[in-house]
Amino acid sequence: MPLIGGIADDLTGATTTGVLLARSKARTAVFFNEEAAENAKGLDELETIMISSNSRPLPADEAYEKVKSATLTLKRMGVKHFQKRIDTTLRGGIGVEIDAMLDQLDDTVAVVVPAMPQSRRILVGGYSVIDGVALINTPVAHDVRTPVTENYIPKLLAKQTKRKVGLVALDKVLAGEDAVSEKLLAERAAGCEVIVVDAITLEDVDVIAKSCIQLKWNILTVDPGPFTAKLAFNRGLIGEEEPNVPEGSAEGSGKTVLIAAGSATPVTKKQMGILCEDPRHVRISVEPIPLIEGSETALDEAFKAINRAVELLDSDNPPRAILFETALHGELLNLDEEDAKRNYAGGMSADRINAGLGTIISQVLEQVGQDRVAGIYTTGGDTMVNVCYQLGVQCLEVIDYVIPQTDVTRLIGNYDGLPAIGKGGLTGNDHTACDIVDRLFKEAARA
């Protein structure tokens, strides 16, 4: 029976937390929604379940209902320890989603630790710093769907939650477990049910976890993953985190990595540009407007890419990787404007683009077969969801990460065992895409 259950607002977030627990010897599966989790078989073999609510860009009332439903699902499964997984860049309606979970959990306090030091995401004085840059000075401030314009996290959350928000600043964390416990008690006595805590290192996160155990509270962990993992370790639920890298590689086997790039960030554009400097890697650009238009227009555009890919894969010298992208060439579209032009509901243009990428990947796999594909690599949580939906995948078993927030998984259901790596659009260095392709060839050789 799973003891730990988490809800993330997108799929890559769910895998990011899940992989930290999987590397700590907890068998972990990530589900695309609560219905998939409730209908799954073999749940008794799992220690941890993560559910994606796919709620980040939704209006507050819709996000609330999705997270409430997922929380009730986890309760029915017998989960004892709950997490609200948040994005390291604080996108989405975090406060609303905290409310949705706390409203279903008795006598529970949300302890919010936004830091993920492995990815150089820290919190100091309540202010979020990303790789040495203030959050609002990073590209996330201009995110096309969920921009973040508030850097002081207690204030950001206070605008979103109906509960009082408190803060435990870094000086208390550096003073040790007792100082943190005392400050947490003081904040709760002052009526705070959502308490933000600073951290700049994993040691800080460990101190916070041990402080919470001292208090013996029912805690909803609200974090990108490290706090949940440290708390589970200190409770004796998981082991020490360690890598899980296979020894061999399928390099030279004639297999190909299929890449669906749904992210439009400058980080992704640079990574894919470097990847395609290797002549063994082929870029297939897909025009986004036909995908947005839908119907036969979208199918025609998708099948241009599908037919070209199959032709390459059937050649005497198939590419090492094929990149399908809609936003890394030409002028970047404003998807909100595209929605408005067509009287679409908000986010429909983005959904149709991602659905198109999912169709392309699924059709290529169907035509050439799983044995000719080393693995699937996607950028952007919505892209991974659409690819897996089109493939008929039940869930993902998480295994390891290439770098934090770049997670190695295996498909469960259709194309069972096929390796897949999902990466957030803002994650990694210039060579991360190359590293991911290399890792997929290693995973393809795993027994």
DSSP one-letter string for 391-431 = HTEEEEEEEEEEETTEEEEEEEETTTT-EEEEE-TT-S-TT
pTM across the whole model: 0.85
Rounded Cα distance between 277 and 271, Å, is 10
Rounded Cα distance between 301 and 352, Å, is 12
Say which CATH architecture domain 4-234 belongs to. 3-Layer(aba) Sandwich (3.40)
Model confidence at 2, pLDDT cuts 50, 70, 90, reads: confident
Helices (H), 137-216: 153-158, 170-175, 177-189, 202-215
Domain ranges of the chain: 4-234, 256-444
Cβ count near 147 (within 10 Å): 12
Model confidence at 258, pLDDT cuts 50, 70, 90, reads: very high
Backbone angles phi, psi at 29, to 5 degrees: -125, 145
- 385 pLDDT more than 80: yes
Domains 4-234 and 256-444 belong to one CATH topology: no
Task: For 192-206, write each residue's pLDDT tens digit.
Answer: 999 999 999 999 999
Say which CATH architecture domain 256-444 belongs to. 3-Layer(aba) Sandwich (3.40)
Rounded Cα distance between 154 and 375, Å, is 41
- 447 pLDDT more than 70: no
In contact, 33 and 42? CB cutoff 8 Å = no
Q: Quote the pLDDT of residue 144.
A: 72
Rounded Cα distance between 302 and 359, Å, is 7
